[in-house]
Chains A and B, each alone.
Chain A
Amino acid sequence: MRLSATHCAVAAFAAVSLVAVGVAFAAPGDASVTIKNFDFHPMAISVPVGATVTWKNLDGEPHTVTSTDGAFRSDALDEDDTFSFRFTKPGVYKYLCTIHPRMVASVTVK
């Protein structure tokens, strides 16, 4: 059937796209945050329960990823270092860089 063929083609295209774009995405909902120019980009993200967020520092200056409630804390991330955390409980997780505490951001887990 024509509809079925198109549907299959679209599905196949989507699957290929997902693989091509999301090499770091091991599960649906995983997200990444880049640290650049003393800011977290994006500053507010939303992910589903069970998703892993990966931070990567692109600044020449080290930064940390530290939640305000103690849920997660990275080591000092040098340039190109990464830190990942898997969110298993819903909530709003505010975090900051403890080296530059004016850098604040949040992850909302639903």
Chain B
Amino acid sequence: MDHDPTRRGALQCLGLGAGTLFALNGGVLSGFDLADAAEPGAAGKIGTPLFVQISDSHIGFNKEANPDVVSTLNRTIDLVNGLPRQPAFALHTGDVTHLSKAAQFDQASQLLSRMRVTELHVVPGEHDVTDGQGTEFFARFGAASKGLGYYSFDHGGVHMVALVNVMQFKPGGLASLGDEQLAWLKDDLSGRPASQPIVLFAHMPMWSIYEPWGWGSSDSDQVMALIRRFGSVTVLNGHIHQIVSKVEGNVTFHTARSTAYPQPAAGVGPGPGPLTVPGDQLPSMLGVTTVIRAPLHRSLRLTDTSLA
């Protein structure tokens, strides 16, 4: 790695560009512009997680699939706090609590505050808003979106968009963003350069995984139309308590493991309920997703880490 600014300056002066440094991150070879790599402190930037995603902590759940969801959430937080380089912020993609109860939200907030990140961004799951208005959820996590549930922010050149898709259900139908939120999303994305990496995060899967179990959204086509022009889009969801991913053009879809309990694979059994596995297998089915930036390709790398 060339830290000498004179040489870099000379290279740029020659119009040759500054070259490429390749670095290995979690087994994935990522390219970095040498000019970036030559910046003082670059060694720290390469491989630094941009953010982590945890999901489906279900505080309040205490059945056979995991009698102690507090302990597995704590272990997940320990994992995040133990990363060699701290991520800038964390996402929680919903189902923070199991039954939307005030005491469960209180406990969850307290546990999550232990994560060593500067910011925590939380979107609700359907278990968080069973009281209809999501009063308890928004009282604790509604500030960023001013109670709307959706908002966006930028970090390190990446445009992050928090969406809520658990409050507009049609009976017998799938989750959706609703017209108002879709209009806001269109407005929020308009005018952004296609080269800016976009991350959308919401609880319910934003593509069709298995509709008989409600694993999908009714307006995913409309969302795709808005994001298709961007060079790098990452869609992060939760809800299904297992990792399923798909790449469609420049869009990577990825669901997260739960920190509480797994669910069966699509269609295996009567429905998407808690899946009981032998105790020693449980930690390997829970975990966290880490996202790092690979600047050269303007893409984001996802790494899933389980508790064991």
A residues neighboring B (CB under 8 Å): 37-38, 59-62, 64, 66, 68, 73, 75-76, 78-79, 94, 96, 98-102, 104
Contact at A61–B99, with CB atoms within 8 Å?
no
3 tightest CB-CB pairs across the interface, nearest first? A38-B271, A37-B270, A76-B130
Interface size, B (range): 20 to 34
For the complex formed, measure the closest distance between the CB of A58 and the CB atoms of chain B, giving whole angstroms. 11
Contact at A99–B272, with CB atoms within 8 Å?
no
Contact at A96–B172, with CB atoms within 8 Å?
yes
Contact at B100–A76, with CB atoms within 8 Å?
yes
Query: A37 contacts which chain B residues (CB < 8 A)?
Result: 270-271
For the complex formed, measure the closest distance between the CB of B104 and the CB atoms of chain A, giving whole angstroms. 10
Tell which of A59, A73, A76, A79 touches B127, judged by Cβ atoms closer than 8 Å.
A76
Query: B131 contacts which chain A residues (CB < 8 A)?
Result: 75
Query: B65 contacts which chain A residues (CB < 8 A)?
Result: 60
Contact at B274–A60, with CB atoms within 8 Å?
yes
Contact at A61–B273, with CB atoms within 8 Å?
yes
Known contacts A60-B273, A98-B169, A102-B172; A79 and B100 CB within 8 A of each other: no
Query: A101 contacts which chain B residues (CB < 8 A)?
Result: 169-174, 214
From residue 147 to 178 of chain B, which have CB atoms closer than 8 A to chain A? 169-174
Known contacts A60-B65, A101-B173; A75 and B130 CB within 8 A of each other: yes
Query: A102 contacts which chain B residues (CB < 8 A)?
Result: 172-173, 212-214
Query: A99 contacts which chain B residues (CB < 8 A)?
Result: 126-127, 130
Contact at B273–A98, with CB atoms within 8 Å?
no
For the complex formed, measure the closest distance between the CB of A62 and the CB atoms of chain B, giving whole angstroms. 6
Complex-state Cα separation, A76 to B63, whole angstroms: 15
Other contacts beyond A60-B274, A61-B272, A76-B98: 17, CB < 8 A: A37-B270, A38-B272, A38-B273, A59-B273, A62-B98, A73-B132, A75-B99, A76-B100, A76-B130, A79-B63, A98-B169, A101-B171, A101-B174, A102-B213, A102-B214, A104-B171, A104-B172
A-B contact pairs, 5 of them (CB 8 A): A60-B63, A60-B274, A96-B169, A102-B172, A104-B172
From residue 23 to 62 of chain B, which have CB atoms closer than 8 A to chain A? none
Complex-state Cα separation, A1 to B190, whole angstroms: 91
Query: B169 contacts which chain A residues (CB < 8 A)?
Result: 96, 98, 101
For the complex formed, measure the closest distance between the CB of B238 and the CB atoms of chain A, giving whole angstroms. 14
For the complex formed, measure the closest distance between the CB of A81 and the CB atoms of chain B, giving whole angstroms. 9
Complex-state Cα separation, A73 to B171, whole angstroms: 14
Query: A79 contacts which chain B residues (CB < 8 A)?
Result: 63
Complex-state Cα separation, A28 to B131, whole angstroms: 31
Contact at A62–B127, with CB atoms within 8 Å?
yes
For the complex formed, measure the closest distance between the CB of A105 and the CB atoms of chain B, giving whole angstroms. 10
Interface string of B252-281 (1 = CB under 8 A from A): 000000000000000000111110000000
Complex-state Cα separation, A75 to B63, whole angstroms: 19
Tell which of B99, B212, B271 touches A76, judged by Cβ atoms closer than 8 Å.
B99
Contact at A100–B100, with CB atoms within 8 Å?
no
Query: A61 contacts which chain B residues (CB < 8 A)?
Result: 271-274
Contact at A96–B171, with CB atoms within 8 Å?
yes
Query: A96 contacts which chain B residues (CB < 8 A)?
Result: 169, 171-172
Query: B127 contacts which chain A residues (CB < 8 A)?
Result: 62, 76, 99
Interface string of B85-102 (1 = CB under 8 A from A): 000000000000011100
